[in-house]
Structures are given as structure tokens and as C-alpha cells.
Structure 1
Amino acid sequence: MARRALKLASWTSMALAASGFYLYSKEYLDLNDFGAVRVGRAVATTAVISYDYLTSLRRVPYGSKEYLQLRSKVHLRSARRLCELCCANRGTFIKVGQHLGALDYLLPEEYTSTLKVLHSQAPQSSMQEVRQVIREDLGKEIHDLFVSFDDTPLGAASLAQVHKAVLHDGRTVAVKVQHPKVQAQSSKDILLMEVLVLAVKQLFPEFEFMWLVDEAKKNLPLELDFLNEGRNAEKVAQMLKHFDFLKVPRIHWELSTKRVLLMEFVDGGQVNDRDYMERNKIDVNEISRHLGKMYSEMIFVNGFVHCDPHPGNVLVRKRPGSEKAEIVLLDHGLYQFRLDYCHLWQSLIWTDMKSVKKYSQRLGAGDLYPLFACMLTARSWNSVNTGIGRTPVTATEPTTSPRSASSSTTCHARCCSSSRPTTCCVASRLPWAPAPVPAPSSTCRVAASGHWLRTRRRTPVHSSKGPRSLLGRPSAYGRSTFMNSFCV
């Protein structure tokens, strides 16, 4: 009887302790801070996705209608699981998920469309956490630094969030505050991703996404240093100061640190928000031309390229006191030099196919350089081989979607990504990438690494409604069951 009473008391004590811990942790602790929880989520999600691909498509004839329908369902299930993992683990996981969501040419549509929501669903830090970061980095409380500080952020991203505030001198500023736990978790998250990618590669030898982990290792420390972002902003503003249509917010260095960046407040609508542009009578074609000029100058003249050109980082607005449109360029955390990319475009315009092959391979395309050239120009291989300067864009060329290309061709695009560096990723995400490149007109000079190269000017054209074009040579050899199933 005494033993039974003791056992009952023990179980009751354990239940009360567990309940107390739950209530305490719910209010004061974030289970996401525990490494075991983050690792467990990532391992479990990877295992479930791998098992789904291994078993779901095993007994269905490859290429059949049933196979294609089932494969699409597996893609969608896996993409949703991956998205849930990114939202749960936050930080670096969301950053990598956003990058994957932008790889339209390399991943199935189910993945890109599902992961794109991560651009607008990044978790927010609490005001308590924001105050803590500002206090630690600037040594003062928010009310000592600002007359007003909006508790609701203007926007939240994977690594930071931005608040609107007013300084004591009356200036309105945007305050970018890093999420407090990102620095501590980032290196561990990258290591975890590396282990998981290697594990998946053991199951599916053709799965080649280690390049993504390598790029995250190299670039994440730069993006987490807001002083680096401020220096990049000032540099690009100086380089492009002759463009009266471009606005780069000014940095307030006296209140900026590695985790807090204070900049001039500039509002506007995202570059892909057509409704905003129509309401404000902003000419879409004019914005497209300005984007082409801006990025051409970055790539071909300065070799200093904004490497994260998603819509949230490129705003449009009417210039104050004027009816002219203006582009606002934000988030300058990552810039890179692109000499080989300049040479590649020069070769494409001159129809120097030997050099096209050479520089495509140096950018990581390998033997798939014809497909890479088609991806960059959004033209058929016949047009590229004949010369984009001598072959006008036909009615059928821009209406051919990359999704309608052969599955083996698209699979090759993804296999190309296994060794390609950030250059190729950025190239496929530039503002004019969705539109076919027309015949170039007039001559100009292209500067690369301080050397002037004689070439012909390419006028980028963006079609806001037209689908993308991707025509390449199909595969001459097969891939593993997994990579075949991963083709669009």
C-alpha cells in the first residue's frame, strides 16, 4: 500500500513538474533555441522526403501519365515539408529556402512556387528582442535614440527586420535590426545542412546541391555584417550616381553597427507590383529599361553586381516633386565581381562560340554550355548559334515556356547547378532574365577589370506578361531514378 502511494506521488510530482516546465517554457523559453530540436526537425524532414521519393515512384512506369501525376504530388508534398522546416527553424534555413524558391530554371515548379512564400512569411523578432539588440550594440535605449519607433516592422526577412523611426532632429529613418539568435545559430545550421546534403547524396548519387551549402558558408558572414552592407550601399551609389532614376538610401553611420543599420527612409512599391504602378501611373516599360541600364552598368562597366535582386529589394516610386519614376535599391549585403560573365556576353554578341564554351565552363556550366547560353539569353540554341544579333525574336520563341521543354533538358539545367557558382544563380535571377534578348543595336564600350573591351550594346527587354523561354539540347544520356523523378 505504501509502495503504491509512493508511486502515485512520484507520478503526480512528475506530471506537475512537466506542466510547470511547459507553462514556463511557453512564456520564457523558445524551444527553437535548443540545438537538438532544430537538428531533430531537419533530420526527420529529410528522412521523410527521401523515403517518399524512394517508395512512391518505385512501381510506376517511368514517363507514363500516372508517373508524371504522382511525381507532381510527391514534389508538392516534399516542398511543403521543406517549407514547414524552414519556417520552424528560421534564420539560415529561411535564407536558403528563399534562394531555392528563386531557382525557377533549376527546380520543379512545385518547389519554387511553394518556397516563394518564404519571402513574405519570415518570422519577426519581438520588440523585447529588438530593444535588446539596440541596447547591446548602441548602448542606449530606444527612447533615448528616437522620438518615435514603430513596434510593427515594415518588413521581416530571414536575417533581420526593418522598423520605421524618427530621430530627435526630425529625420525619418529605417532601422534594420538583426534577429538576435541568427549569429549564434548560423554556423551550426550550415554544418547541419552540409551533413544532410551529404547523407542525401549517399542515397541519391546524382543529387548535387553541395554548391548551395558552400555558397552559404562563404556569403552568410558577409550578409550578417551590416557595416559591410553600408559600405556596399555607398559604393554602388557613387558608381551609379549619373543615373537620375536610381535612389540608394543614405546610411547614418553614427548609429550603425554590425547588427544595426540606420538608413534614410524611402517608401515605394515592389518592382513586381503592377497594381501599385498602375495606381501611381508608373510606366512599366520605363522601369524595365531602367533596370536593364542599371544592371548592365553593374555587370559590364563596374563589375560590382547586386546579388540578391528579388522584388523586396527593388522598389519603385514617383520621385518626390516630380512625375518621373524612380528605382530604390535596397539590401546591399552581397556584391560580387563578374569578369568572366562580361566575357561571356561579349562572346554571345559576337557569336564567338568557342569563347561561349570557354567562359560558360569557367562559370560552372561544364559540357552543358549550350543550355546555359539559352538560359541567359532566353533564346533558342539555333538563335544563339546563328547569332542573337542576326536573328530577330520570333513569335514562337518567347511563347515557349521552360516548363514545356523536355524533362531531360530541364534535368540537365539542374545537374549544371551542381558545380556552378553564385554567378550562374545571379545570372538566372537578373531582372531581364524572363525576356528574350533581341538583336543588339549601336556600339558601346564595356569595361571589365579596368580594361575596355569593344563590343556591341545589348538592350535588355523585359516582358511583364510573357512567359519565359528555355530551349536547349535534350539529354543524350540517362539519369538515376531519383534525378529523373526530380525533372519537371
Structure 2
Amino acid sequence: MKNLPEREEEREQVMRKVHERSARKCLDLARTNGGLYTKAAQFVASLQGGAGDKGIPKPYVEVLRVLTDAAPHHPFAEMESVIVRELGSPASHIFLRFDEVPIAAASLAQVHRAQLPDGMEVAVKILYPSLRREMASDFAMFRRLGSQIRPGGYDMGWLVEDFERTLRSELDCEHEARNCERAAKLLEGRESVRFPRVVWSLTRKDILVMQFMHGLLRISEPEALLASGLELEECGQVVSDVLTELALVHGCVHGDPHAGNIYLVAREVEGSSRVKPALVMLDHGLYHHVEERVRKDLCLLFLACI
């Protein structure tokens, strides 16, 4: 730091190169270790805009963002041990069909497509079996790193504490299922939102079975939305309306609304040839519940801004 150029523009260029180099090393670390390390990288990548830029330099957000969509998956033999432990039998004894290759892989779990004996198509979310075993040592390492490493003078300690607090609430599939049903209840009657139905008979702490949702469109791919006959302005309005109603009307804030967790589908409108967007919310592991006094203050703030 002492040898940095005096001119501010030159200093920023040098520091950006330092951060980019460090961010690539963090990406390699997360890919090698997986699990909580991938989650930590995703957590950093979500800190974009506003106060996030003050706490985390932009190169970390930009480089680590790839892990929000492309986390490595685990072999099915490893994942089936969770099914046997939680449900008492292998997948072939429980499901009529079970696809061993996951349709999605995240930092804490991966999702497989399956079919129940009654014909219902489901998505089976399975937490990685090594997570709980490795959690204590991983968090101890994160705290140690946070206290010792200060890239460019940035204090990382607050990030570790916030990460640990939010992560523990995500390691409970039954808690996630209850969150899903609660959000669905709060928004029932609204045609522009869809929630998958929970299969409680097959849901446990480490496994979540839900209705498989067809026709999902990524909100980050405008070309696909347009090709499905949707208007982008209506799509943006639906996403805004649903998440804002949850927060400002019900005090229930979705804590992880990125493009891998919320999607759109094209819904037919009765008496019309047009289609309109409906929001599909899949991941309900992390919610923040706002106190009534704070919720009302937020509403007043919005009205004042308008």
C-alpha cells in the first residue's frame, strides 16, 4: 500500500488489479472446497450496489458471480445416502422415476426431478451430506480469515458474522417448506404468483419434495421472455409487485431473490389470446420478518418518496 502511485486514478487501477487477482484465487478456493465455501462466494457476489460497494470491492462481486448459477454437483451415490437416512429406503423404492443427474446444483443442495407412484412430478431438493459435519470447522476458518485478511484495508469480520447467521436458517428443509406455505397463504388470490405444493410425507430436515413447476423462464433472459409472448414491462411489474407486497404489506422479505430462485411463467388469460407473466418462487430458505413498527415506517418512506 505504501508503494501505490500518488495519483488517485492510478491508485485505483493498481488496486483493481490486486482485487481481480485475489478474487480469482477466491473463486478457485470455492470451487475446490465446495459447500460452505461456495455459499460464502455466492454471498459476496450478492453484495452489489449501494452499501455493498463500500464493504466489498466490485471485482469480487464480478468474478464470484459465476457461482450463483454454476455450482458443481455431487454424484448421486453420495446424495442417495441422505435419502436412505431421512426416508428409510433408496430412491428406487420411493419414487416411480428418479433422475440421477440433477437439474440444478447450488452451494448447499442439489435438485433432482422425480415422479411419485401416483404420477405426480416432483422436484427433490437434497442437502449435501457433508455440510453439517464440516460446518463447525469451516466457520472457524472463516472467522480466522475474517480477522486476519483485510484486502485493500477492508474489514471482513462483519461479513463472516452475517453469513453464519443467515446460513444456519437455510440448513432446514422443513423450515423452508413452512416458509413457502406461509408466503403462499399471504399471497393467495393473486393470479400473478405461483408456489409449488409441498409433499410433506417425504419432506425432512435434509430433504424437500415439492411439486415440479413446468415452463419456467429466467427473469435474467429477456429474449426468452419475449419469445414466450410476454412483455418485459409487465414482467418487471409482476416481480416488483409480488416482492413489494410481501415486504410492505406483510413484513415478509424474501432474503435471496436472485434469478436462480425466482422465475416467470406465461399464464393464459381467460377470454384473451394474450399471455401474462406469473412469478414462480422456488427457494424459501431465507426470509426476514420485519417488525410491524418498522414495516409501517417503510410504507411511510415509500409514500414520501412517491
TM-score, with structure 2 as normaliser:
0.90
Aligned to 2:264: 316
Contact 1:228 1:333 in 2 (8 A): yes
1:303 lines up with 2:251 in the alignment: yes
Distance 1:299 1:342 in 2: 11
Quote how far apart the aligned CAs of 1:276 are. 1.3
The 1:307/1:189 distance shift into structure 2, 3 A limit, reads same
Matches within 5 A, 1:163-242: 163-200=112-149, 207-242=154-189
Aligned to 2:285: 333
Contact 2:238 2:277 in 1 (8 A): no
Quote how far apart the aligned CAs of 1:154 are. 0.8
Secondary structure, aligned partner of 2:175? helix
Contact 1:131 1:142 in 2 (8 A): yes
Quote how far apart the aligned CAs of 1:277 are. 0.4
Distance 2:122 2:281 in 1: 16
Distance 1:329 1:341 in 2: 22
Aligned to 2:95: 146
Aligned to 1:291: 239
Counterpart of 2:201 (choices 244, 249, 254) is: 254
Aligned to 1:134: 83
Quote how far apart the aligned CAs of 1:286 are. 0.8
Distance 1:257 1:302 in 2: 27
Contact 1:307 1:336 in 2 (8 A): yes
Secondary structure, aligned partner of 1:58? coil
Secondary structure, aligned partner of 2:70? coil
Q: Give the number of aligned pairs.
A: 294
Which 10-residue stretch deviates more, 156-165 or 315-324?
Answer: 315-324
Distance 1:95 1:320 in 2: 37
Distance 1:215 1:155 in 2: 26
Distance 2:199 2:303 in 1: 42
Aligned to 1:112: 61
Distance 1:317 1:80 in 2: 35
Q: RMSD in angstroms over aligned alpha carbons?
A: 1.9
Aligned to 2:18: 74
Q: Cα deviation per residue 1:198-251 (whole Å; 9 max; x = unaligned)?
A: 1125x97x5333222222222222201000000000000000112111001010
Quote how far apart the aligned CAs of 1:66 are. 3.3
Contact 2:193 2:279 in 1 (8 A): yes
Secondary structure, aligned partner of 1:61? coil
Q: Which amino acid aligns with 1:147?
A: L
Distance 1:180 1:155 in 2: 17
| Greater Rg over alpha carbons, structure | 1
Q: Which amino acid aligns with 1:337?
A: H
The 1:315/1:347 distance shift into structure 2, 3 A limit, reads closer
Q: Which amino acid aligns with 1:334?
A: L
Contact 1:299 1:342 in 2 (8 A): no
Contact 2:149 2:156 in 1 (8 A): no
Secondary structure, aligned partner of 1:282? coil
Q: Cα deviation per residue 1:182-211 (whole Å; 9 max; x = unaligned)?
A: 11112221121111111125x97x533322
1:276 lines up with 2:230 in the alignment: no
Contact 1:190 1:216 in 2 (8 A): no
Quote how far apart the aligned CAs of 1:74 are. 1.1
TM-score, with structure 1 as normaliser:
0.58
The 1:341/1:198 distance shift into structure 2, 3 A limit, reads farther
Secondary structure, aligned partner of 1:312? coil
Q: Structure 2, unaligned stretches of length 5 or more?
A: none
